[in-house]
Amino acid sequence: MADDRPHLPAFDLAGFTPYRLAVAAKRTSEELARQYRARFGISIPEWRVLVHLAHAGDVSVRDIEARVAMEKYEVSRAAKRLAGAGLIVKRAHEGDRRLVRLALTAEGEALMRDLLPLAQAYQEEIDRRLGAALTGLEAGLDRLLADWEIPATEGGGRVWHEPEV
How far is CA 87 from each of CA 7, 53, 56, 59, 109, rounded to the nearest angstrom?
Answer: 58, 11, 15, 15, 8
Residues in 13-72 that interact with its own copies by CB under 8 A:
13-14, 16-29, 32, 48, 51-52, 54-55, 57, 67-69
Could you tell me the smallest distance in angstroms from the CB atom of residue 148 to its own copies? 6
Residues in 89-148 that interact with its own copies by CB under 8 A:
106, 109, 112-113, 116-117, 119-120, 122-123, 126, 129-131, 133-145, 147-148
List the x/- string, 26-65, binding to DNA by CB under 7 A.
-----------------xxx--------------xxx--x
Q: How far apart are alpha carbons 165 and 163 in whole angstroms?
A: 6
The answer to whether 51 and 113 have CB atoms below 8 angstroms apart is: no
List the x/- string, 100-119, binding to DNA by CB under 7 A.
x-------------------
Pairing of strands 58-60, 100-104: antiparallel
Choose the one of DNA, its own copies, none that binds residue 117, judging by a C-beta under 5 to 8 angstroms depending on kind.
Answer: its own copies
Angle at 111 between CA 103 and CA 114, to 5 degrees: 135
Choose the one of DNA, its own copies, none that binds residue 100, judging by a C-beta under 5 to 8 angstroms depending on kind.
Answer: DNA
Q: Give 47's contacts (C-beta < 8 A, 6+ positions apart).
A: 33, 36, 115
